[in-house]
Amino acid sequence: MGLLAFGSMARHSDERSEEDLIWGSLHLISVGAAIGMAALVARYLGGLVAWPVGSFSAATAYFLVLGAESSVAYRWEHRTRDTG
């Protein structure tokens, strides 16, 4: 993935600790949102149409929440630099 994203396999992190890497790789909230969305679609829609709708809505929920998680983490990490 690093090769596709950055053009090389070199490390592209800027002084991240192991704790940042562990929490950044878990994605607990975004995975929970995706599972919850798929469960809601299966519960209320049902049938054959629930498969594509559930897949699309779960993926959408995952990426939206993942983006929010990343934004919050970035702003939290850079909060002292912005305030002075």
Domain count, the chain: 1
Q: What was the pLDDT predicted at 20?
A: 56
Please give the C-alpha separations between residue 27 and each of 22, 24, 31, 33, in angstroms, as whole numbers.
10, 6, 6, 10
pTM: 0.66
Q: Is residue 32 part of a domain?
A: yes
pLDDT, tens digit, for every residue of 4-54? 655 655 555 555 555 555 556 678 899 999 999 999 999 999 899 999 999
Q: What was the pLDDT predicted at 63?
A: 95
In one letter, which amino acid is 16? R
Q: Is residue 58 part of a domain?
A: yes
Q: Is residue 12 part of a domain?
A: no
Please give the C-alpha separations between residue 80 and each of 21, 47, 74, in angstroms, as whole numbers.
20, 51, 11
Q: Is residue 44 part of a domain?
A: yes
Q: Is residue 2 part of a domain?
A: no
Q: Is residue 61 part of a domain?
A: yes
DSSP category for residue 30: H
Dump the DSSP string for 53-75. Answer: HHHHHHHHHHHHHHHHHHHHHHH
Q: Is residue 4 part of a domain?
A: no
Give the range of the structural domain holding residue 32, as residue numbers without chain letter: 22-79
Q: Is residue 7 part of a domain?
A: no
Cβ atoms of 34 and 63 closer than 8 Å: no
